[in-house]
């Protein structure tokens, strides 16, 4: 089925949550709220606020490009030292060249985002971090790209085997129908499912444009040369490694891509026969109880939910750090039959150029939808007073505390003139009757230590 026809059948507006989307050239428009959704290199961009999210990803790309320029300059500055050993010089030359080339590679790959040539200073990007999950930078899962399409065949086969085993326990792998992979990343698992198990259609959804643009290129038969930068290189030459990324074969017909948020998945109710959530349920920002209801809504009656990966729940709410037993109970409570589950130890991120590869004990379950449940409410990443901007900003206790802290920090910073010592600054605090000298000195020192440490960390970017 042609991509446009299939997507028109399953898509729904992520903004108003119900109206169908109609193709409009290379883009889509909601038939209800009339919001237009662009496409990026032919991939529908279906975030609830398309322009805002596009602006955020442009900012993230710009920040990453500036970070890479900064890193190149740091390597070049280190090379100017006269006391370098030949081996150190060789390593730094390799890093400087690879980082500069990597910057060009990213810029070319993400040209469809339309980043402006003139950008805000790097310091502005550091200060004004964008709203998308702060732990999900443009390059957060960049190493996975090399695992998926360069050196990770053993792990890729093991991952597919876990999903296949779960499907065999809940009805088999024949006639999978329409399959959705949520949080598909660079889409190797989605590709393998589509090629090996042959569902009618497979749709890979992720919110990171870098990952899906790379996937689209290699799955169409293209070959990409990209640099890998292992965290713990095995040898000097492994500090920067050129990798050739390629799929085993061009993907067969029926594979589709969507850029969107898994918490506002832009699909009609009951659109899929199978939903796969790889390495996802423990990192989404909402409670699994609610997320399970979202998965239920996406599936037809009798459809299956297969989850694969980690259960490293790290919610600040201790009650939401679920065990495997609780996870299965939550899935059953979300309108599914009792899930079939299993553990398996598989290789994880074992790059031949890195010392950081490990084995991971992954948890996989498959559950058949037996009943509809009450739909989860529309996900809101931010309160209305932040999104709309017309309501009063509430005077939250944390805001009041921060306001006082900011005034004190600003005063300390105003005292820094290149001449005053910590003891001198503590004397000023005492003269202003803010603190005694004895209290002020350790407080000022602690603040300056945090500032110094933060400056050291930022210099790495």
More confident residue, 186 or 119: 186
Predicted pLDDT at 339: 98
More confident residue, 338 or 394: 338
Phi, psi angle pair for 442, to nearest 5°: -70, -30
Poorest-pLDDT segment among 282-291, 348-357, 397-406: 397-406
Predicted pLDDT at 460: 55
User: Distance (Å, rounded) from C-alpha 206 to C-alpha 180?
Assistant: 11
pLDDT tens-digit readout, 224-241: 999 999 999 999 999 999
Start-to-end CA distance of the chain, whole Å, equals 45
Residue in the structure block whose two tokens are 């820094």: 416
Model confidence at 397, pLDDT cuts 50, 70, 90, reads: confident
How many C-beta neighbours within 10 Å does residue 296 have? 27
Kindly state the percentage of the chain with pLDDT values over 70. 92
pTM score, whole prediction: 0.86
Torsion of CA 449, 455, 460, 461, to 10 degrees: 140
pLDDT at 13 over 60: yes
User: Distance (Å, rounded) from C-alpha 299 to C-alpha 304?
Assistant: 7
Poorest-pLDDT segment among 157-171, 243-257, 272-286, 376-390: 376-390
Looking at domain 142-368, its CATH architecture is 3-Layer(aba) Sandwich (3.40)
State the number of CA atoms in the 13 A half-sphere of 134 facing the CB: 5
Name the DSSP letter for residue 196: I
Q: Six-digit token pair at 24?
A: 């409009």
More confident residue, 387 or 369: 369
Residue 349 neighbours by CB under 8 Å, 6+ apart: 143, 144, 147, 152, 155, 356, 357, 358
CB 262 within 8 A of CB 284: yes
pLDDT tens-digit readout, 111-154: 999 865 445 454 443 443 444 454 568 888 999 999 999 999 99
User: Distance (Å, rounded) from C-alpha 414 to C-alpha 397?
Assistant: 26
Name the DSSP letter for residue 110: T
- Domain layout of the chain by residue ranges: 63-127, 142-368, 402-459
């Amino acid at each position: 089925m042609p991509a446009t026809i299939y997507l028109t059948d399953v898509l729904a507006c992520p903004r108003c949550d119900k109206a169908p989307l109609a193709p409009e050239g290379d883009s889509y428009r909601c038939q209800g709220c009339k919001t237009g959704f662009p496409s990026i290199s032919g991939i529908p961009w279906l975030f609830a606020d398309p322009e805002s999210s596009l602006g955020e990803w442009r900012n993230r790309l710009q920040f990453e490009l500036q970070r890479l320029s900064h890193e190149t300059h740091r390597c070049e500055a280190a090379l100017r030292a006269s006391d370098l050993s030949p081996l150190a010089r060789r390593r730094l030359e390799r890093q400087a060249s690879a980082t500069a080339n990597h910057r060009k590679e990213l810029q070319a790959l993400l040209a469809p985002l339309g980043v402006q040539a003139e950008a805000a200073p790097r310091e502005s990007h550091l200060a004004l971090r964008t709203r998308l999950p702060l732990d999900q930078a443009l390059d957060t899962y960049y190493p996975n790209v090399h695992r998926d399409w360069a050196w990770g065949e053993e792990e890729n086969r093991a991952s597919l085997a876990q999903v296949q085993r779960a499907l065999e326990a809940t009805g088999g792998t024949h006639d999978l129908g329409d399959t959705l992979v949520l949080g598909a990343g660079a889409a190797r698992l989605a590709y393998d499912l589509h090629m090996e198990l042959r569902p009618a259609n497979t749709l890979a959804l992720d919110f990171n444009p870098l990952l899906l643009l790379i996937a689209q290129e290699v799955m169409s038969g293209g070959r990409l040369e990209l640099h890998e930068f292992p965290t713990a290189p095995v040898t000097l030459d492994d500090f920067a490694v050129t990798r050739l990324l390629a799929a085993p074969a061009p993907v067969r017909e029926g594979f589709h891509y969507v850029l969107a948020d898994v918490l506002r998945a832009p699909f009609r109710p009951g659109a899929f026969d199978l939903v796969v959530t790889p390495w996802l349920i423990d990192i989404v920002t909402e409670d699994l109880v609610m997320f399970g209801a979202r998965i239920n809504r996406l599936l037809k009656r009798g459809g299956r939910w297969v989850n694969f990966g980690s259960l490293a729940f790290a919610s600040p709410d201790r009650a939401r750090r679920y065990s495997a037993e609780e996870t299965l109970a939550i899935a059953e409570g979300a309108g599914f039959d009792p899930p079939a589950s299993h553990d398996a130890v598989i290789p994880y991120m074992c790059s031949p150029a890195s010392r950081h590869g490990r084995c991971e004990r992954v948890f996989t379950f498959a559950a058949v939808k037996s009943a509809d449940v009450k739909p989860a409410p529309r996900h809101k990443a931010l309160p209305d007073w932040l999104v709309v901007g017309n309501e009063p900003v509430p005077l939250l206790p944390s805001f009041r505390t921060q306001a006082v802290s900011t005034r004190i920090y600003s005063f300390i910073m105003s005292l820094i003139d290149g001449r005053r010592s910590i003891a001198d600054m503590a004397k000023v605090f005492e003269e202003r009757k803010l603190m005694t000298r004895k209290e002020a000195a350790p407080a000022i020192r602690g603040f300056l230590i945090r500032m110094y440490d933060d400056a050291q960390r930022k210099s790495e970017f």
